[in-house]
């Protein structure tokens, strides 16, 4: 059972209109479904490059989150989310991807990125010695936000064949 606790990570599962004064983040599950449809609609010869192209921005977000988490890699996280569970704010459980065959296997890592965003946010917010916490959390959130919001352009490039030098 994988739970998401922080508001920043939850915004990719449930729309949060007041977070960072931006349009609501693209929801992660519809993003994964749409990316999977694009991958499956690509010929087998171009499927690998299509997966790489689609997952590139999410990999960049993951790298940004891990760079932010680097000072906390050896921190005990057993009690990390103890302050986040309250009656008004319950954690959100991530669905089991085995029950979702319409999501391509290459998109399963998106939930790992979301969990990492959740942990990074909690680690930064609980660290009394952290500097510029809100900026660091925003930068991590923005990486995932960019990844989920830029799928349409990548999808058009893949479908038109421009991503593969004209061959679909």
Cα separation, 41 vs 145, whole angstroms: 24
Provide the β-strand partners of residue 93: 3
Helix and strand totals (H; E) in the chain:
6, 2
Residue 155, CA atoms < 13 Å, CB-side half-sphere = 16
Q: How high is the pLDDT of residue 136? A: 93
Cα separation, 38 vs 55, whole angstroms: 12
Q: Could you give the number of structural domains in the chain? A: 1
Q: How high is the pLDDT of residue 79? A: 79
Q: Which residues span the domain enclosing 86?
A: 3-164
Query: Chunked in runs of 10, what are the mean pLDDT values of the chain (168 residues)?
Result: 88 82 78 92 90 93 94 83 68 87 89 94 88 92 90 89 72
Cα separation, 149 vs 23, whole angstroms: 10
DSSP state, 144? H
């Amino acid at each position: 059972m994988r739970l998401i606790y922080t508001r920043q990570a939850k915004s990719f599962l449930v729309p949060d209109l007041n977070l960072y004064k931006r349009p609501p983040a693209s929801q992660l599950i519809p993003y994964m479904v749409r990316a999977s449809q694009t991958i499956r609609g690509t010929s087998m010869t171009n499927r690998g490059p299509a997966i790489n192209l689609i997952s590139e921005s999410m990999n960049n977000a993951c790298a940004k989150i891990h760079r932010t988490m680097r000072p906390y890699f050896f921190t005990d996280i057993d009690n990390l989310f103890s302050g986040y569970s309250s009656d008004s704010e319950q954690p959100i459980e991530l669905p089991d991807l085995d029950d979702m065959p319409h999501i391509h296997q290459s998109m399963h890592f998106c939930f790992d990125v979301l969990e990492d965003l959740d942990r990074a946010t909690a680690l930064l917010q609980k660290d009394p010695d952290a500097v510029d916490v809100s900026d660091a959390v925003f930068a991590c959130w923005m990486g995932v936000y960019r990844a989920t919001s830029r799928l349409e352009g990548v999808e058009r490039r893949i479908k038109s064949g421009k991503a593969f030098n004209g061959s679909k």
